Chain A
């Protein structure tokens, strides 16, 4: 009777999940059939496999390009889903997958480095080994940060996403430096399933079979981990060994897939999520249901990409991101509340009794950084401190950048404080939550509509993008009680869409894209006096509104009831804060691009220094953020003189290790 009930509750969800998988696979098969019939008439299909020596080019294409592509799509999709299920269960984290853990990016970065410096390693096995080393380094780093004594799922994902972005930034710089031959075009960015033979299919099927065997062996002990480490240990499971083995398995599988087809995001996340949404609970059910769903998803996406009437090839990895991200955004509000604990306190331990002397010290640092940025620079003869008429000549090139980065850093920091306090999420920031990405998406959409929009239009488009992204985040947050994982998912979705679009632009090989890509990397190169002044003016207006936010920032975290009781119009206040945050983010993103992390870092630095009350926290964060951005811009244009590293990219490099350190210390 009881066994029967169990079977029914678990049986029908598995069937539901299988139906989804079947539907996806059928759709993929249908589209594949359409593609195949364009090459070879359906009547001749039996001959495809029968006659090995066919010289007909279309049969050859079907056999060596189209069919292996379908198979590789299925295998890679299934493999990513499998890796996703393993990662998610071992790390007890519904968001874990090769892309969000930084594993794919680590593998890809290792491949880029190897290709650029050791171009002789072309054969598959060694490339796979190198990809594995990169993936391993990434997962170790992420685990080290997310796994100190207690396992913190959110922290781990943030570390993973950060490692991904960091690896992407590093690869971006490497590609920049080697752009003379345009070798980078297909080096970084999105996975492509284009095949010209069965090699990748054979390799992948071998790896997948091996992984499946391992999963069968590890399945039972892994399933027992669900009841908790102590319980599993009591049942005779060697917990650390099982975890380690499972992680190694998923990492190796991800590395193989990256070395075969490049980076493909979302499949490892979406397939298990869909399986769970269909109701599968047990691990074995997920192992059964997720891989077919992943296979169907990836293959279907790939077929859609091929059928789409685009003049040039869209990388499949970019397409999964472009299709998957909105899907994720649509699914998010409908997902069950996650098991991850909701909010963490934004307040730190130590509180400064008298913040003013520290603020003065902060001002001194800011002044020092600004004077260096204005007066110290490089010439062909080395470093030189400019003064007098020479300085007067140089200043018009320097002050707009200094002013603009100062304001942008300050605005991002202020936005970070607002976000962290309104969502009670210590990891909230314009960059992590995708508000910067929203702003950048707004600009890209505008550029598709208008060839050369005026600065005012640009500001309007970025503000609209940022406001939409933040409104979406708040809507999702309100439904889920501001569960950090959901908010982070939104950010990941926006960020992935943006990098997918960037990959499509990069793959075009058009040198005019360099300017747009430069902006996306955070270059302040084209900053003019008038643009800097507009940024400063808008920035000062917005920052002047911040004191109005002080009271709501103290009261809102106490809850809606208390806020009402204290006479606050909660909705109106929230909308006001939202618009302020969007405006700050948009103005800053226009100046320094969507990737800086200063909005995350500065509020934390201020908080760790002991600034707790909203106004002091805001002031200190703005000082810190502004100083970091100015320093990043200055160092970025001096260190590898006469070449330059974009300020946003360089700020991420500066902020990265510090941020990971903070993240680890937060336990």
Chain B
């Protein structure tokens, strides 16, 4: 019975491949499971509705209601997706970007695994993210959507680059403040955000050592190296408490960007996101530049 259903679904999928008209009506023809947040956002960007999403509860909390994920099932933490549930769901494909959690050897028994790493590779995370999006699109037959997205993104970056080139901008610290009021997470080399800043010719004020995935957690007394820098923090449900704690701190009050009011908050972005996150970040930078929030002197 089940084989019959699967065969039916497979033939539907085959149909969907060949026929763009049919595809629009059957977005969930393929049963795909996203094993982490970057894979999820890439699939959503390509117009897919994943069957299962790892850490869906936290993702929804952070990103709000996303129509494409309304029918998706939570499959557990990204580092331990529930194998029994996956076996029960019998997806056609796993997409993973972190490469942490269920070993591919185990997952392959249920369905093939499309592995599209963004972080931790030798090159830039931004290039890896673009490659990852293309590879998913190739597999899904959604090259057109991917290329359209990439083109818009590149255009946005080059517009931004021109804007940056035309003005004198401050270097920026990009941070997620931690709850204790003494530490911040900084995004540095190897991070997607740092790559975007580089691409458009902006300077990251934090040039210190960061993890292979591009972050470093530091005490706020280390934020003094670039006196002229602006401080951009990413909002999350914890930032209000964190900033309240920071306001009580003498060092914080004395930091140049605090004294001179160069603190900018930006909406939530995934800490380890993929190209859609990078694009959203670029969009945010664009509006900041429009506002003149980062202009020097």
**CB-based contact B79/A515 at 8 Å:** yes
Q: How many angstroms between the C-alpha atoms of A514 and B80 in the bound complex?
A: 9
User: Chain A 60-74, CB within 8 Å of chain B: the 1/0 string?
Assistant: 110011000000000
A199 touches B248 (CB 8 A): yes
- A500–B36 Cα gap in the complex (Å)? 29
- Whether A642 pairs with B76 at a CB distance below 8 angstroms is yes
- Closest chain-B Cβ to A475's Cβ sits at a distance in Å of 39
Is the CB of A230 closer than 8 A to any CB of chain B? Answer: no
Q: In the complex, which residues 98-148 of chain B have their Cβ closer than 8 Å to any Cβ of chain A?
A: 98, 100-103, 105-106, 109
Known: A185-B178, A192-B180. A525 touches B80 (CB 8 A): yes
Within 8 A of A (CB), among B232-274: 236-238, 240-241, 244-245, 248-252, 254, 256, 271-272
Residue among A397, A507, A523 making CB contact with B83, cutoff 8 Å: A397
A 119-134 binary contact with B (CB < 8 Å = 1; else 0): 1101100000000000
> B80 is contacted by which of A119, A182, A518 (Cβ under 8 Å)?
A518
Q: In the assembled complex, how far is the CB of residue A609 from the closest CB belonging to chain B, in whole angstroms? A: 34
- Of chain A, the residue at the smallest CB distance from B106 is A528
Q: A523 with B80: in contact, given A180-B62, A182-B176, A512-B100 (CB under 8 Å)?
A: yes
Q: Once bound together, how far apart are the Cα atoms of A126 and B185, in whole Å? A: 26
**Chain B residues whose C-beta falls within 8 Å of the C-beta of A510 in the assembled complex:** 211-213
Say if the beta carbon of B74 comes within 8 Å of chain A. yes
Q: Tell me, rounded to whole Å, the shortest Cβ–Cβ distance linking A247 to chain B.
A: 29
Residues of A within 8 A of B76 (CB): 642-644
Q: Is A607 an interface residue (CB 8 A)?
A: no
Bound state CA distance, A127 and B185, in angstroms? 23
Interface: B9 (CB within 8 A): no
Across-interface contacts of B252 in A (CB, < 8 A): 196
Q: Are B241 and A313 in contact (CB under 8 A)?
A: no
B182 within 8 A of A: yes
Scan residues 37-78 of chain A and give those whose CB is less than 8 A from a CB of chain B. 57, 60-61, 64-65
Contact (Cβ within 8 A) A197 B248: yes
A515 to B78, CA, bound (A): 11
A180 x B59 contact (CB < 8 A): yes
- Kindly state the interface size class of chain A when it binds its partner: 35 or more
Contacts of B220 in A (CB 8 A): 196
Interface string of A167-211 (1 = CB under 8 A from B): 000000000100111110111000010111111000000000000
Residues on A with C-beta less than 8 A from B20 are none
Q: Of residues 476 to 523 in A, which have CB atoms within 8 Å of B's CB atoms?
A: 507-512, 514-515, 518, 523
Q: Choose from A57, A120, A176, A313 the contact partner of B218 (Cβ within 8 Å).
A: A313
Q: A182-B271, A311-B209, A510-B211 are in contact. Are A194 and B221 (CB under 8 A)?
A: yes
Complex CA–CA separation, A378 to B79 (angstroms): 20
* A567 sits at the interface (CB 8 A): no
A625 to chain B, nearest CB (A): 24
- Interface residue? B75 (CB, 8 A): yes
- Of B84-92, B150-158, B199-207, B288-296, the segment with at least 4 beta carbons within 8 Å of chain A is B84-92
Complex contact A181–B272 (CB within 8 A)? no
- Considering the complex, give the chain A residue whose CB is closest to the CB of B79: A514
CB contact list, A371-405 vs B, under 8 A: 377-380, 393-394, 396-398
CB of A515 to closest CB in B, whole Å: 6
Say whether A61 contacts B73, CB under 8 Å: no
Q: Quick one: which of B217, B237, B254 contacts A64, CB cutoff 8 A?
A: B254
Nearest CB of A to B73, in Å: 6
B211, A507: Cβ atoms closer than 8 Å: no
A556 to chain B, nearest CB (A): 43
CA distance in complex: A186, B182 (Å): 10
Contacts of A179 in B (CB 8 A): 58, 77
Residues of chain B contacted by A525 (CB below 8 angstroms):
80, 83, 102
B224 and A61 contacting across the interface, CB-CB below 8 Å: yes
A523 to B58, CA, bound (A): 21
Other-chain residue from A61, A186, A379, A523 in contact with B85 (beta carbon distance below 8 A): A379
Which of A397, A507, A526 has the largest number of chain B CB atoms within 10 A? A397
Judge whether A637 is part of the interface by a CB distance below 8 angstroms: yes
Report whether B75 and A642 are in contact in the complex, using a CB–CB cutoff of 8 Å. yes
Residue of A nearest to B82 (CB): A642
Q: Which residues of B contact A181 (CB under 8 A)?
A: 62, 176, 236-238, 271
Give A195 to B182 CA distance when docked, in angstroms: 7
B168-201 interface code vs A (CB 8 A; 1 in, 0 out): 0000000010111111010000000000000000
Closest to B63 in A: A180
* Chain B residues whose C-beta falls within 8 Å of the C-beta of A187 in the assembled complex: 179-180
Instruction: Indicate whether A115 reaches chain B with its CB closer than 8 angstroms.
Output: yes
A124 — nearest CB in chain B belongs to which residue? B248
Supposing A196-B220, A507-B217, A510-B211 touch, asked if A380 and B238 sit within 8 A by C-beta, the answer is no
Q: What are some 23 contacts across the A-B interface (CB < 8 A)? A: A61-B224, A64-B221, A120-B241, A122-B245, A180-B61, A181-B271, A186-B183, A187-B179, A194-B182, A196-B182, A199-B250, A380-B73, A380-B85, A394-B87, A398-B84, A509-B185, A510-B211, A511-B98, A511-B100, A512-B100, A514-B100, A525-B102, A641-B85
Question: 8 tightest CB-CB pairs across the interface, nearest first?
Answer: A180-B58, A197-B250, A196-B251, A196-B249, A642-B82, A514-B79, A642-B76, A119-B241
